[in-house]
Amino acid sequence: MLSSEELEKKTKALKVDYHQTFGTEQGKRVLKDLENRCFENHTTFAGAGKSEETHINIGSRSVILTINNMMKLSVEELIARRIV
């Protein structure tokens, strides 16, 4: 298990990596595309009797929410929410 100092250092570095990846114009376009594809702002429900598809959609949404959290939340919030 990481010490609190190591966890903070790792989280800061990872946050920088996310910003370098998604902070450029190209990265912003990719992020917007992922937001549209990964159900960020609309329902993951695929319809009655389609529970497997709904679960896949929920997993996709989890990915984009994690990316956006890494971009928007402070290091302290990321650690407190156990996102890292």
Mind listing the pLDDT tens digit for each residue in 2-45? 999 999 999 999 999 999 999 999 999 999 999 999 999 999 99
Q: Is the pLDDT of residue 61 over 90?
A: yes
User: Which whole-number Å values give the CA distances from 46 to 3, 38, 42, 49, 61, in the listed order?
Assistant: 42, 13, 11, 8, 13
Confidence band, pLDDT 50/70/90 cuts, at residue 83: confident
pTM for this prediction: 0.88
Percent of the chain that is helix, strand, coil (3-state, to 5):
70, 0, 30
Cα–Cα–Cα angle for 70, 76, 81, nearest 5°?
65
Rg (CA), the chain: 15
Rounded Cα distance, 45 and 16, in Å: 33
